[in-house]
Homo-oligomer: A and B are copies of this chain.
Amino acid sequence: MESIQECNKMRLAIQDTIEVINGKWKLLIIASLTRKPYRFKELTRELGISPRMLSKELQDMEMNKLISRTVYESKPVTVEYALTDYGKTLNDVMNAMRDWGVKHRKKIMRG
């Protein structure tokens, strides 16, 4: 049985985490960037997200240092979004959510 102090601390910490990764897109973007860096249009195609939302989410995550934005002076200019070392620290959260999602889907399928 956890103490009430531990419980309050847990709530506060979880609240902090939720504020950083809230919404339906951020973790999906991070999941993609876990495999390799992506360009803007690549992400819109891969995730089916509109450029407006993607732009906003990427700016949010860059502010929180979860991802980096690099402009390459190729022709045409390309912009690459990559997961930062700090963004990679979300790995445990992602894995836990992946594992739970897999089990949940199996449960739903069983009825």
**How many copies of this chain does the complex contain?**
2
| Residue from B11, B18, B34, B101 in contact with A16 in the complex, judged by beta carbons closer than 8 Å | B101
| Given known A13-B105, A16-B101, A104-B16, contact A35–B2 (CB-CB < 8 A) | yes
Main secondary structure of the interface of A (DSSP, over half): helix
Chain B residues positioned under 8 Å from A32 (CB to CB): 7, 11
Given A10-B94, A15-B28, 12 more contacts at CB 8 Å? A7-B35, A9-B98, A11-B31, A11-B32, A11-B47, A13-B98, A13-B102, A15-B101, A17-B101, A22-B24, A86-B107, A93-B100
| Given known A35-B1, A35-B4, contact A18–B100 (CB-CB < 8 A) | no
